Structure 1
Amino acid sequence: MADAPSLLASLKGLRSAPTLSAAEQGQLADELMAALATCEWFTVGVMAPSAAVAVASLRALETRLSWEALELDPSGEELASIEGPVFLKANQNNGRFLVRRESGLGEGLLITGHNPVDPSAEDTWGPLPLGLFDD
Protein backbone atom coordinates (compact mmCIF):
# COMPACT_ATOMS: atom_id res chain seq x y z
CA MET A 1 0.00 0.00 0.00
CA ALA A 2 1.42 3.41 -0.98
CA ASP A 3 1.98 6.10 1.62
CA ALA A 4 -0.75 8.72 1.84
CA PRO A 5 0.32 12.08 0.42
CA SER A 6 1.51 14.56 2.99
CA LEU A 7 -0.77 17.38 4.07
CA LEU A 8 1.80 19.83 2.71
CA ALA A 9 1.80 18.14 -0.71
CA SER A 10 -2.00 18.11 -0.78
CA LEU A 11 -2.08 21.94 -0.86
CA LYS A 12 -0.41 22.18 -4.28
CA GLY A 13 -2.77 23.53 -6.88
CA LEU A 14 -5.32 24.96 -4.45
CA ARG A 15 -6.53 28.50 -5.07
CA SER A 16 -6.86 29.32 -1.35
CA ALA A 17 -5.55 27.78 1.81
CA PRO A 18 -8.03 25.35 3.39
CA THR A 19 -9.42 25.70 6.88
CA LEU A 20 -7.52 23.26 9.07
CA SER A 21 -8.01 21.89 12.56
CA ALA A 22 -5.39 22.64 15.22
CA ALA A 23 -3.99 19.11 14.79
CA GLU A 24 -3.78 19.54 11.01
CA GLN A 25 -2.06 22.91 11.44
CA GLY A 26 0.50 21.28 13.74
CA GLN A 27 1.10 18.48 11.22
CA LEU A 28 1.39 21.01 8.40
CA ALA A 29 3.87 23.13 10.36
CA ASP A 30 6.01 20.06 11.12
CA GLU A 31 6.05 18.99 7.45
CA LEU A 32 6.85 22.53 6.34
CA MET A 33 9.72 22.93 8.80
CA ALA A 34 11.33 19.73 7.49
CA ALA A 35 11.03 21.00 3.91
CA LEU A 36 12.36 24.47 4.78
CA ALA A 37 15.40 22.97 6.50
CA THR A 38 16.73 21.83 3.12
CA CYS A 39 16.87 25.34 1.65
CA GLU A 40 19.24 28.29 2.05
CA TRP A 41 16.89 31.23 1.45
CA PHE A 42 13.24 31.93 0.61
CA THR A 43 10.76 33.98 -1.30
CA VAL A 44 7.27 34.41 0.10
CA GLY A 45 3.99 35.33 -1.50
CA VAL A 46 1.03 36.40 0.59
CA MET A 47 -2.45 36.58 -0.90
CA ALA A 48 -4.53 38.53 1.61
CA PRO A 49 -7.67 40.67 1.94
CA SER A 50 -5.61 43.74 2.91
CA ALA A 51 -2.07 45.07 3.12
CA ALA A 52 -2.25 45.01 6.92
CA VAL A 53 -3.15 41.30 6.97
CA ALA A 54 -0.44 40.51 4.41
CA VAL A 55 2.28 42.29 6.38
CA ALA A 56 1.08 40.75 9.68
CA SER A 57 1.30 37.29 8.09
CA LEU A 58 4.83 38.01 6.85
CA ARG A 59 5.90 39.29 10.29
CA ALA A 60 4.44 36.21 12.04
CA LEU A 61 6.34 33.96 9.60
CA GLU A 62 9.58 35.88 10.17
CA THR A 63 9.16 35.68 13.94
CA ARG A 64 8.30 31.97 14.02
CA LEU A 65 11.23 31.04 11.75
CA SER A 66 13.68 33.52 13.35
CA TRP A 67 14.21 35.30 10.05
CA GLU A 68 15.55 38.83 9.95
CA ALA A 69 12.67 41.24 9.28
CA LEU A 70 12.43 42.27 5.65
CA GLU A 71 12.07 45.94 4.71
CA LEU A 72 9.39 47.49 2.56
CA ASP A 73 10.93 48.20 -0.84
CA PRO A 74 11.07 52.00 -1.20
CA SER A 75 10.17 51.72 -4.89
CA GLY A 76 6.76 50.32 -3.97
CA GLU A 77 3.51 51.94 -3.01
CA GLU A 78 2.92 53.21 0.55
CA LEU A 79 1.08 50.52 2.50
CA ALA A 80 -1.50 52.96 3.87
CA SER A 81 -2.61 53.86 0.35
CA ILE A 82 -3.39 50.26 -0.66
CA GLU A 83 -7.01 49.24 -0.22
CA GLY A 84 -8.62 45.87 -0.84
CA PRO A 85 -7.05 42.51 -1.69
CA VAL A 86 -3.29 42.38 -2.15
CA PHE A 87 -0.35 40.23 -3.12
CA LEU A 88 2.80 40.66 -1.04
CA LYS A 89 6.07 39.41 -2.51
CA ALA A 90 9.00 39.04 -0.15
CA ASN A 91 12.57 38.07 -1.00
CA GLN A 92 15.11 37.07 1.65
CA ASN A 93 17.93 37.37 -0.86
CA ASN A 94 17.45 41.13 -1.30
CA GLY A 95 15.89 41.70 2.15
CA ARG A 96 12.79 43.47 0.84
CA PHE A 97 9.10 43.06 0.17
CA LEU A 98 6.52 44.76 -2.05
CA VAL A 99 2.74 44.86 -1.76
CA ARG A 100 0.46 45.46 -4.73
CA ARG A 101 -3.28 45.56 -5.21
CA GLU A 102 -4.45 42.28 -6.69
CA SER A 103 -8.06 41.22 -6.91
CA GLY A 104 -9.26 37.77 -7.89
CA LEU A 105 -6.67 35.84 -5.90
CA GLY A 106 -7.36 33.32 -3.21
CA GLU A 107 -5.94 33.68 0.30
CA GLY A 108 -2.86 32.10 1.79
CA LEU A 109 0.91 32.02 2.06
CA LEU A 110 3.20 30.60 -0.60
CA ILE A 111 6.81 29.87 0.34
CA THR A 112 9.46 29.01 -2.22
CA GLY A 113 12.71 27.53 -0.95
CA HIS A 114 15.94 28.13 -2.83
CA ASN A 115 19.10 26.04 -2.65
CA PRO A 116 21.71 26.76 -5.35
CA VAL A 117 23.88 23.89 -4.08
CA ASP A 118 21.05 21.32 -4.26
CA PRO A 119 18.33 22.46 -6.69
CA SER A 120 16.41 19.23 -6.06
CA ALA A 121 15.55 20.62 -2.59
CA GLU A 122 13.85 23.67 -4.11
CA ASP A 123 10.06 23.80 -4.17
CA THR A 124 7.05 26.01 -3.56
CA TRP A 125 4.76 25.13 -0.66
CA GLY A 126 1.22 26.29 -0.09
CA PRO A 127 -1.13 27.94 -0.07
CA LEU A 128 -0.72 27.80 3.69
CA PRO A 129 -3.32 29.33 6.03
CA LEU A 130 -2.60 33.02 6.72
CA GLY A 131 -2.68 32.38 10.49
CA LEU A 132 -0.44 29.31 10.46
CA PHE A 133 2.40 31.17 12.17
CA ASP A 134 0.34 33.27 14.58
CA ASP A 135 1.00 32.71 18.25
Structure 2
Amino acid sequence: MSKSVLIVDDAAFMRMMIKDILSKNGFEVVGEAANGKEAVEKYKELTPDLVTMDITMPEMDGVQALQEIKKIDDSAKVVMCSAMGQQAMVIEAIQNGAKDFIVKPFQGERVLEAIQKALS
Protein backbone atom coordinates (compact mmCIF):
# COMPACT_ATOMS: atom_id res chain seq x y z
CA MET A 1 0.00 0.00 0.00
CA SER A 2 1.35 3.44 -0.84
CA LYS A 3 2.03 5.88 1.97
CA SER A 4 -0.35 8.81 2.34
CA VAL A 5 1.02 12.35 2.53
CA LEU A 6 -0.47 15.71 3.49
CA ILE A 7 1.34 18.64 1.85
CA VAL A 8 1.30 21.96 3.69
CA ASP A 9 2.64 25.14 2.08
CA ASP A 10 1.14 28.59 1.57
CA ALA A 11 2.51 28.64 -1.98
CA ALA A 12 0.43 26.58 -4.41
CA PHE A 13 3.48 26.27 -6.69
CA MET A 14 5.51 24.62 -3.90
CA ARG A 15 2.67 22.22 -3.10
CA MET A 16 2.51 21.30 -6.76
CA MET A 17 6.27 20.64 -6.90
CA ILE A 18 6.23 18.32 -3.88
CA LYS A 19 3.06 16.61 -5.10
CA ASP A 20 4.72 15.98 -8.45
CA ILE A 21 7.85 14.44 -6.86
CA LEU A 22 5.80 12.26 -4.51
CA SER A 23 3.19 11.10 -7.02
CA LYS A 24 5.90 10.00 -9.46
CA ASN A 25 7.48 7.95 -6.69
CA GLY A 26 4.46 5.99 -5.53
CA PHE A 27 3.19 8.16 -2.69
CA GLU A 28 -0.45 9.09 -2.39
CA VAL A 29 -1.07 12.78 -1.74
CA VAL A 30 -4.29 12.69 0.28
CA GLY A 31 -4.57 16.38 1.00
CA GLU A 32 -3.10 19.85 0.80
CA ALA A 33 -3.26 22.80 3.18
CA ALA A 34 -2.25 26.44 2.70
CA ASN A 35 -1.60 27.32 6.35
CA GLY A 36 -0.93 25.75 9.73
CA LYS A 37 -4.51 25.99 10.94
CA GLU A 38 -5.75 24.16 7.85
CA ALA A 39 -2.94 21.61 8.30
CA VAL A 40 -4.12 20.69 11.80
CA GLU A 41 -7.74 20.30 10.62
CA LYS A 42 -6.71 18.19 7.62
CA TYR A 43 -4.45 16.05 9.79
CA LYS A 44 -7.37 15.21 12.11
CA GLU A 45 -9.57 14.42 9.13
CA LEU A 46 -7.08 12.43 6.99
CA THR A 47 -4.52 10.99 9.47
CA PRO A 48 -1.81 10.74 6.78
CA ASP A 49 1.35 8.65 7.20
CA LEU A 50 3.44 11.77 6.72
CA VAL A 51 3.15 15.57 6.55
CA THR A 52 5.44 17.93 4.64
CA MET A 53 5.19 21.25 6.48
CA ASP A 54 6.32 24.67 5.33
CA ILE A 55 7.75 26.75 8.19
CA THR A 56 6.65 30.28 7.28
CA MET A 57 2.89 30.54 6.70
CA PRO A 58 0.02 32.88 7.55
CA GLU A 59 -2.43 32.23 10.45
CA MET A 60 -0.28 29.57 12.13
CA ASP A 61 3.34 28.85 11.25
CA GLY A 62 4.75 25.40 10.64
CA VAL A 63 6.31 25.03 14.09
CA GLN A 64 3.00 25.84 15.83
CA ALA A 65 1.12 23.49 13.50
CA LEU A 66 3.70 20.77 14.22
CA GLN A 67 3.12 21.22 17.98
CA GLU A 68 -0.67 20.99 17.52
CA ILE A 69 -0.40 17.87 15.33
CA LYS A 70 1.94 16.25 17.89
CA LYS A 71 -0.72 16.90 20.58
CA ILE A 72 -3.27 15.03 18.44
CA ASP A 73 -0.90 12.24 17.46
CA ASP A 74 2.39 11.86 19.26
CA SER A 75 3.69 9.49 16.58
CA ALA A 76 2.95 11.90 13.70
CA LYS A 77 5.73 12.03 11.11
CA VAL A 78 6.43 15.56 9.89
CA VAL A 79 9.14 16.76 7.52
CA MET A 80 9.67 20.53 7.58
CA CYS A 81 10.27 22.59 4.44
CA SER A 82 12.21 25.81 4.74
CA ALA A 83 13.91 28.47 2.73
CA MET A 84 17.56 29.15 3.43
CA GLY A 85 18.23 31.26 6.51
CA GLN A 86 15.56 29.74 8.74
CA GLN A 87 18.03 27.72 10.82
CA ALA A 88 16.59 28.76 14.19
CA MET A 89 13.07 27.72 13.21
CA VAL A 90 14.31 24.45 11.72
CA ILE A 91 16.10 23.64 14.99
CA GLU A 92 12.97 24.54 16.96
CA ALA A 93 10.91 22.28 14.67
CA ILE A 94 13.32 19.35 15.15
CA GLN A 95 13.18 19.88 18.93
CA ASN A 96 9.39 19.74 18.66
CA GLY A 97 9.46 16.39 16.92
CA ALA A 98 9.94 17.04 13.21
CA LYS A 99 11.71 14.07 11.61
CA ASP A 100 13.79 15.97 9.05
CA PHE A 101 13.72 19.08 6.91
CA ILE A 102 14.13 19.89 3.25
CA VAL A 103 15.36 23.18 1.88
CA LYS A 104 13.72 25.12 -0.95
CA PRO A 105 14.16 25.01 -3.90
CA PHE A 106 13.40 21.30 -3.65
CA GLN A 107 15.73 18.66 -5.03
CA GLY A 108 13.73 15.55 -5.90
CA GLU A 109 16.25 13.13 -4.42
CA ARG A 110 16.55 15.08 -1.17
CA VAL A 111 12.76 15.22 -0.76
CA LEU A 112 12.49 11.44 -1.20
CA GLU A 113 15.44 10.80 1.10
CA ALA A 114 13.92 12.90 3.90
CA ILE A 115 10.52 11.26 3.49
CA GLN A 116 11.90 7.73 3.43
CA LYS A 117 14.00 8.49 6.51
CA ALA A 118 10.97 9.89 8.34
CA LEU A 119 8.83 6.87 7.48
CA SER A 120 11.41 4.25 8.42
- Same-fold call, TM > 0.5? no
Higher relative contact order (CA 8 A, sep 6+): 1
Which structure features the higher share of helix residues? 2
- Structure number with larger C-alpha Rg: 1
Structure 2 length-normalised TM? 0.29
Structure 1 length-normalised TM? 0.27
